[in-house]
Amino acid sequence: MAVVRQWIWIFLAVVLIGYGILVRSVGSGTGFFLVWLSLGAAALLCAAAAHFRLWGKLPLWFRIVLLLMLAGAAGLFLFVESRIAGSFHEEPVKDLDYLIIPGAQIYEDGPSVVLRYRLNAACEYLDENEGTVCIVSGGQGYNEPYEEAVGMKAYLVLHGIEENRILLETEAENTRENMEFSQELFDPEHDRVGIVTNNFHLYRACALARKSGIRHVYGIAAGSTPLYLPNNMLREFMGTVKDFACGNI
């Protein structure tokens, strides 16, 4: 049995490390791929523990405490992920006053795949709701050629959205700031505001919007790339827990 457990952990380690390398190859501009490599390293340690039968040598009290901690962490993970997944299929409300599109990685030749999903969903909504104004929000990261909002506006104009329907917010560096800084461009007490972002990001973005003072918030779910959804879901779990701990949501 110990040999079987050992090889299961080795297989899991290979999968985790391989996925981390895959995420790194995309060049998303973040170091989150290191989380997958760390999980793979932890799986290798578990394989070594199984090989040397270390679990049975640990004190009983320590094993009980460790199992309770792992069960608590698993419960928290499942709870948060269920909330995130529950926002995947939000139905758009018609004739909103404003849309906010939070920024994401911009390259020299335009928006990243993640950001294009958001912008395409916004284009579809704006085409069907001609009275809605769009706010593109995002500053310039250290690894970006210009402000995300500038690139987002250029993309929307290229896809047929009139310039006078697009407002720019060029200072935000994260989702919380996207919501806070964008409020200078509308009335957060009375305007109905749609948040357009990828399905995995929608729960946290809407929670941050409400916490920042926007009273009437509506989610509009854009798509995402299935291959990288595990990475995005794990990243959002950590982001949601962090924002809750910091009092942002």
**What gap in Å lies between CA 142 and CA 129, rounded to an integer?**
35
The string of pLDDT tens digits covering residues 200-228 is 999 999 999 999 999 999 999 999 999 99
pLDDT in the model for residue 58? 87
Of 157 and 54, the one with more pLDDT:
157
The residues near 218 (Cβ < 8 Å, ≥ 6 apart) are: 90, 92, 93, 96, 192, 193, 194, 195
pLDDT band at 1 (very low <50, low <70, confident <90, very high): low
pLDDT in the model for residue 113? 93
The string of pLDDT tens digits covering residues 89-135 is 888 899 999 999 999 999 999 999 999 999 999 999 999 999 999 99
What is each CA distance from 38 to 48, 97, 125, 190, in whole angstroms?
A: 15, 44, 40, 46
Q: What is the mean pLDDT of the chain?
A: 94
pLDDT in the model for residue 28? 64
pLDDT in the model for residue 89? 85
pLDDT band at 4 (very low <50, low <70, confident <90, very high): confident
**What gap in Å lies between CA 73 and CA 60, rounded to an integer?**
20
The answer to which of 52-66, 190-204, 216-230 has the lowest mean pLDDT is 52-66
pLDDT in the model for residue 29? 62
pLDDT in the model for residue 158? 96
pLDDT at 2 over 70: no
The model carries a pTM of 0.90
In angstroms, how far is CA 171 from the centroid of its own chain?
19
Q: What is the arithmetic mean of pLDDT over 221-236?
A: 95
The string of pLDDT tens digits covering residues 133-143 is 999 999 998 88
The string of pLDDT tens digits covering residues 81-99 is 999 999 998 888 999 999 9
Whether the CB-CB separation of 214 and 188 falls below 8 Å is answered with yes
